Structure formats: structure tokens, C-alpha cells
A and B are shown apart, each in its own frame.
Chain A
């Protein structure tokens, strides 16, 4: 595996993007940063600016308003970058699947690397999902 990717997996800075979620998934993501779970152990930091990010954490049902912003932000992330879909809404639009306002699920808009189900997923589940993603990439290369 290249040193570039190895370094990326050991210090993934995450950018947190809500595309119209009910905020529960966002609260659970912020939980991961608290002393109890402390994802800084794995070198993960919450990046404030999209230019600093390596991993895009997407929550929410991708409604018409936020889809444009989602595409713009995905173009602005310096590559290589990974996309993590968190919560039922980001996976399959959840209870909004028949809504006029949510035409497409997230993985039809941008490529998604890992899906973390739950409504909302527990912080343990989020960390386990990210660890699986890192393992997947390590085995693939």
C-alpha cells in the first residue's frame, strides 16, 4: 500500500455534513469526539473547513435544497477522499423515501465508501463502521 494512503488512513480528518437530517445522527457523530469515545486516538479530528477534510460524513435525506450544496462540497474536497453515509436517511432516505422532496438516495449522487445503518446509529456503530472501512481499504490495496 502506498505511503500516501497509509498516512490518510491513520489521520482521517472528518468533515460533517448534514443534508437535512433530524439532527440525531449529528448529535451521535459529535458524541464520538467526547472523552468517552475519543476518536482522536485514531488520529481523527473534526475539520471545520472542507479543504482540510479527508472523510465526508453525510447524514440526512438529501433533499432538493441540499443536494446542490452536497455536490459542490464533494467537488471541493481535496482528493483522495472517502465518503461515509451515516443513518437510515443517508442510506435509503428512511421514512422520506416517498417524499416529493427527496428524489434520489445519497449513493446515486456521489460514490459512498461505507454505510452505517441506524436511526440514529450509536457512536460505537459509527466507530466500528469507520474501522471496517479502514480495514477494507487496507485489504484491497
Chain B
């Protein structure tokens, strides 16, 4: 009985401290890095360090309006569902990197499922808000999810094959500590390129910010959200800016080791990935939804199939 209680306490520490608080703070910091780098690229000064946090606090203090005729229940629960999905993914990833023994078999598949929940919550919120622009945004988000999931899962397959047919994240990290990181092989490089592109779409950043296209459909699914609900969406988004690079680091770059000097190496991996994502976002124009789906189902799927074949051949 007591061991069960200690276990439960242990897991809730992971959930609250690592899954929510730490992830949220690193996510807010990453969002500041993103905004600052964007500003510097455009020869601007950019916002102060605490700006993302201040934005969230401000939104929490504002009035939450529900548009007339919207389905109130779905409209208000959708952001919470998205946040819950993000927190769960973060918890699983932290647990695999800190205490590999504690994870369970098949958590890679669980992470893949949970990663689509933030997108699903945006779709739900968009359709529930009874606004034509939000509906357009939600339907675009839906098409985008259909587009990037296929190459993303094929790229995950490369990881599974390379690490000796295991679907435990802890085993994947362990494999990489013994045999070198997966990105050092040809199939790993190809899969990495595909996953970076899919990350850009998952985060809805520019080339693939089609669902939120501010200049065409003014924020898309989020158009009717205000106050606390919008704050939760922003927070989820900022957390995903930490979670997805962390996921990529765990799968391709050998995970983050929290012991001694290695933590700096892990930090370097993370900052490098965020900088890469920001530079892609700042040097590309937005594509149309049909172009995006073509891109993911055409070249990206081809590359990931080649990567899978290479991985099967042992390259």
C-alpha cells in the first residue's frame, strides 16, 4: 500500500513539476528566444525577456467571452484538452530522460497519439466557435494534420528499426548511448529532415502556418477566443515549442543527460534546434494548403520511405 502511495506521489511530482511547471517555463523562454531572433532578423530590438509570461498573465486577467450561438461546453473545454495532452507528452518525455526504468512498453506510440491532441483541440475549438473564419482555419488544420502525420509516422518507423525494433523511448535512448545517436546514419539524417518539416507544421509556424494565417483569416481557429481560454492556447503552444524539440532530441540526438556537465550539451542541442526552427520560420513564405499537403504526401513521404528502406538495409 505504502509503495503504491509513494509511486503515486512520485508520478504526480513528474506530472506537476516536470510535466507542467518546468515545461511551461522552458516553453515560455523558448517562445521569447523565437520572438527575439525573429526581431533581430528583421533589424528590430524585440520584446523583453519576461514578455511571454506577461502576455499569459495579462490574458488570465481578462474577460472570457463566449460568442452567441457557439457550443459553450466544447468551446471552453477544447483548450484544456489540448493543454492536458501537452502536459502528458512532456511528462512521458521527462520520465524517459530522467529515470528510464520508470517508463512502460510502447510509450513511443502513446506519445505519437498524444502529440495530435493539441491539434485536435484547436480543430474542436475552431468548429465550436461558430465563426466562418474559425471554421476555415479548423478545416485547414485538419487537412494539415492528415498531410504531416503520414511522413511523421514513417520517420518514427526509421527510429524503431534502427534501435532494434523497440517502441520504448528509454530503450531508444539507451541504444543511442551505446551505438551513437541515430542522426549519425544515412537513414537517420533523412528521417531527421522529414521530422523537422513535420515539426514546423505541428507548431503551425511559417511555411505551414496556414491554419492561423493572420493576414488572410486573422488567427483562424483562435479568432473568437479571449481571456483565460486564449491564455491556455498560448501556453500550450509555447509548451509545444519545448516538447517537440525535446522529442526530436530524445529520438535522434541521444536524449538529454541531466548529470554534471552533460546538461550543458543537452541545452546546446535544444537551443540549436529552436534556432533552426526559427530560422526556417523567418526565411520562408507561407504556402497554400494544397501545396502543403502535396509537399508532405509527395517529397516528404518519398524521403521517409527511402529512409525506412535504408534503415532496413542497415545503413
| Residues of A close to B35: CB separation below 8 A | 40
**Using Cβ atoms and an 8 Å threshold, which residues of chain A touch B207?**
none
Q: A8's contact among B58, B64, B225, by CB below 8 Å, is which?
A: B58
Indicate whether B62 reaches chain A with its CB closer than 8 angstroms: yes
Task: Tell me, rounded to whole Å, the shortest Cβ–Cβ distance linking B99 to chain A.
Answer: 37
**A-side contacts of B230, CB under 8 Å:** 51-52
CA distance A51 to B64 in the complex (A): 9
Residues of B within 8 A of A48 (CB): 214, 218-219, 223
Contact A43 B47 (CB under 8 A): yes
Among the stretches B37-45, B164-172, B245-253, B300-308, the one at the interface with A is B37-45
Does B185 make an interface contact (CB < 8 A)? no
Closest Cβ–Cβ distance, residue A31 to chain B (whole Å): 13
Could you jot down 16 A-B contacts, CB within 8 Å?
A: A4-B57, A4-B61, A7-B58, A8-B58, A8-B61, A10-B54, A11-B51, A11-B54, A38-B45, A38-B46, A41-B47, A41-B48, A48-B218, A48-B223, A51-B65, A80-B62
Residue picked from A8, A51, A54, A78, most chain B C-beta under 10 Å: A51
Q: Which residues of A contact B222 (CB under 8 A)?
A: 49, 52
Task: Kindly state the interface size class of chain B when it binds its partner.
Answer: 20 to 34
Interface residues of B in 48-71 (CB under 8 A from A): 48, 51, 54-55, 57-58, 61-65
B227 contacts chain A at the CB level, 8 A cutoff: yes
- Option from A7, A38, A41, A52 in Cβ contact (under 8 Å) with B61: A7
Looking at chain B's contact residues, the main secondary structure is: loop
Other-chain contact of A38, B44, B51, B214 (Cβ < 8 Å)? B44
Expressed in whole angstroms, the minimum distance between the Cβ of A49 and any Cβ of chain B is 4
Which 5 A-B residue pairs are closest in the complex by CB-CB distance? A48-B218, A4-B61, A7-B58, A51-B226, A78-B63
Most buried by A among B35, B44, B222, B225: B44
Q: B224 contacts the other chain (Cβ, under 8 Å)?
A: yes
| Contact of A54 with B44 in the complex, beta carbons under 8 Å | no
- Interface of A with B (CB < 8 Å)? 3-5, 7-8, 10-11, 35, 38, 40-41, 43, 48-49, 51-52, 54, 76, 78-80
Bound Cα distance from A80 to B59, whole angstroms: 11
Residue in B43, B47, B64, B219 whose Cβ sees the most chain A Cβ within 10 Å: B47
Chain B nearest CB from A78 CB (Å) reads 4
CB pair B224–A51 under 8 Å, yes or no, is yes
A27 to B65: give the CA distance in the assembly, Å: 31
Closest to A47 in B: B219
* Structural contact, A41 and B46, CB atoms closer than 8 A: yes
Residues on B with C-beta less than 8 A from A51 are: 65, 223-226, 230
Extra pairs beyond A79-B62, A79-B63 (5, CB < 8 Å):
A7-B61, A40-B45, A43-B54, A52-B226, A78-B62
